[in-house]
Amino acid sequence: MSNTAQLAENTAVEPFLIGDGMTGGYGTGADILHDCTVAVNPGEIAVIVGPNGAGKSTAMKAVFGMLNLRAGAVRIGGEDITHLTPQARVAKGMAFVPQTSNIFTSLTVEENLEMGAFLRRDDIRETIEQVYDLFPILRDKRRQAAGELSGGQRQQVAVGRALMTQPQVLMLDEPTAGVSPIVMDELFDRIIEVARTGISILMVEQNARQALAIADKGYVLVQGRNAFTDTGKALLANDEVRRSFLGG
């Protein structure tokens, strides 16, 4: 390697959040991830797609500290957080919305949002208003039990609750699972709005074609490994990706 190339490699700016070369699984079981890398920059949307069982949600959980890595590292803003607990990662600016059990069904919408601010010691009213501006239907239903809402509205509560921590990174596991196409489009529009505020979005999605259409960066995983990594637009235009993962 020439001196110039070596210098360029050494001075390359690392993404704001990166799960770098992650290898691991759950407990003492077999590895699910194999040298898997996912990353996202401020204000960008990064989407992880792939077939069922590809390790998409596992990659997301690894970044959030929900399983032990046997190799690789997770860094945010250049700081190694590989050994931090999920709660400690929240304090570092990460928020995670799981696919299921992501709201308190017996609490009102507003109580759910207040629960999201459990680590904060400042006035949260302004943030609640920002969530209501992003999801106006939640303002209308703020006194209603979250368990009485539609699937799409529950997802809005879950995302809103995560935003109450004022995260730098918002991680979403299958945010459009089980909702209608119209609601999916609306949720994606709101996710784009969140990214425009400078928050990094890392998202796992089964609706691969629609998700890649809004993605700055896309990761196609197969059996826990990176099969394709490119911009969302480039992956949508890739013949092999389309044929193998997007239904032609």
Mean pLDDT by 10 residues, the chain (248 residues): 49 86 90 98 97 94 94 97 95 92 94 90 94 96 96 94 96 92 93 96 95 97 97 96 86
User: Would you say residue 191 lies in a domain?
Assistant: no
As a whole number of Å, the CA-based R_g of the chain is 18
Is residue 82 located within the same domain as residue 177? yes
Please tell me whether residues 157 and 175 are part of one structural domain: no
Sign of CA dihedral 239, 242, 245, 248: negative
Nearest to 166, CA basis, from 140, 198, 133:
198
Number of structural domains in the chain: 2
Q: Is the domain of 66 the same as that of 30? A: yes
Task: Please tell me the predicted confidence (pLDDT) of residue 3.
Answer: 52
Report the number of secondary-structure helices (H) and strands (E) in the chain: 11, 10
Q: Over the stretch 172-221, which tens digit does the pLDDT of each residue have?
A: 999 998 888 999 999 999 999 999 999 999 999 999 999 999 999 999 99
To 5 degrees, how large is the angle CA 85–CA 190–CA 228? 65
The pLDDT value recorded for residue 120 is 80
Q: Do residue 86 and residue 118 come from a single domain? A: no
Say yes or no: 39 and 86 in one domain: yes
Q: Do 161 and 172 fall into the same domain?
A: no
Same domain, 121 and 229: no
Could you tell me the CATH number of the domain that includes residue 86?
A: 3.40.50.300
Residues 143 and 214 in one domain: no
Give the whole-angstrom CA distance, residue 78 versus residue 226.
Answer: 22
Residues 6 or more apart whose CB falls under 8 angstroms from that of 46 comprise: 38, 39, 40, 200, 201, 202, 203, 215, 216, 217, 218, 219
Contact predicate 63/202, CB 8 Å? yes
pLDDT of residue 1: 53
Asked if residue 187 belongs to a domain, the reply is no
How far apart are the C-alpha atoms of 4 and 232, rounded to whole Å? 30
Asked if the structure places residue 219 within a domain, the reply is yes
Q: Give the pLDDT score at 2.
A: 52
Q: How many CA atoms lie within 13 A of 70 on its CB side?
A: 13
Query: Quick one: 57 and 149 in the same domain?
Result: no
In a domain, 228, yes or no: yes
Structural domain harbouring 83: 16-93+168-182+198-248
The reported pLDDT for the residue numbered 8 is: 47
